[in-house]
Amino acid sequence: MRVYPDIESLRLHARRRIPKAVFEYVDGGSYTEATLRQNRRGLEDIDLVQRVLRDVSDRSQAVELLGHKLPSPLILGPTGLTGFVHPNGEIEALRAANAAGIPYTLCTPSICSVGDLKEAVGTPFWFQIYVMKDKDFTRYLLENAKAAGATVLVITVDVVVNAQRHRDLRNGLAIPLRMTLPTLLDLATKPGWLLRMTQSKRKTFGNYQGYLKEGTGTQSMAAWVAEQYQPLLTPETLGWIRDFWQGPVIIKGVMTPEDAEIAVEFGADGIVVSNHGGRQLDGASSTAAALPAIARAVKGETTILVDSGIRTGADIFRMLALGADACLTGRAQLYGLGAAGRAGVSRAIEILQAELDVAMALTGCRTLEDIGPHCIRHRGQAARKTGSGA
């Protein structure tokens, strides 16, 4: 039995097991990947304040979100092409999340459809949607999600245009994979992945099938969707979606207090402080840097979630201390999926929860309510106070 002590060990094993183009789609960011790096740097520059001589028995990570009590402040966030990392990947990730008692969020450009999840698992899940120019297409996606039992709608608002990802261009990433010589050579080293993918229910975008004409090729489908992102994305253009859904709505992609306040005025039940994991605006600040001001502006008025750069339970602790109510993880779950399928996702969840528990114990926190700004110290600020910073 292979041992995975941390998320990085899952990442390294996933890199060995899946094609380079697929792994780098998961692992990479847009343009120079400056924001991708900044997300990690923003978290790593925050020290935890160790506290001792305290009773830290009977610790609990339990949190109430949107009227539901969860065992920990962790949500599996929306990730595209999950079913290409592992066969039926969305279904397997939902099963892992369900076993852990935490929410799973299905991404619109997923391989398995909302109907596939209902048929295979049947438990409620969250659904993430991009707003499309074709209003009928957006309505089609919403109707299918509601029929499949999705309970929470996550509207991603930071993709009014698609940013370029250089790794994907260099690798010629397409779904299905283009059989170029480099791709064929790479696949020749991944026979296990090829064999596993024969078990996949689908090999294209499941949520798009049924709306486009029968026989539409995957490349044509992807090209059509790429042109559908709505650049006119205002509260007014989102209003009909909120009214149609008639359930909890979360706005994902908020990075300033001003936009957080607009989301609250819109009636959002929650926001996700997110820079899309460094996959959209290259040069944006880290979510760890953006979160405190947003929390000061809207804490208590809406649920505050955050993603981007989270690789450890200590990172979750840092985000909670900065003002988040819970965290979404994207890459961590995909590393687990690529490394060991459903068992790998379950292991990723276990790792993050166990590391959070240790961070709580060693900082003197028994519950999430004990976690706050006093539990962390920004390294740059500490250096300036002591005069040791250059």
Distance CA 282, CA 257 (A): 20
Catalytic residues: 276
Going by C-alpha positions, the residue among 104, 50, 113, 52 that lies closest to residue 317 is: 50
Give the pLDDT confidence score for residue 388 in this predicted structure. Answer: 41
| pLDDT range class, residue 261, cuts 50, 70, 90 | very high
For residues 208 and 225, the answer to whether their CB atoms sit within 8 Å is: yes
**What's the mean pLDDT in 117-127?**
97
Give the pLDDT confidence score for residue 175 in this predicted structure. Answer: 60
Helix-helix angle 331-362:20-27, to 10 degrees: 40
pTM comes to 0.95
Specify the higher pLDDT residue, 11 or 224.
11
The rounded mean pLDDT for the chain is 93
- Cβ count within 10 A of residue 189: 11
For residues 242 and 266, the answer to whether their CB atoms sit within 8 Å is: yes
Distance CA 63, CA 44 (A): 25
Both tokens of 190, joined, read 């991944």
Give the pLDDT confidence score for residue 384 in this predicted structure. Answer: 47
Domains and CATH numbers, the chain: 7-386 (3.20.20.70)
Residues 27-59 have pLDDT tens digits of 999 999 999 999 999 999 999 999 999 999 999
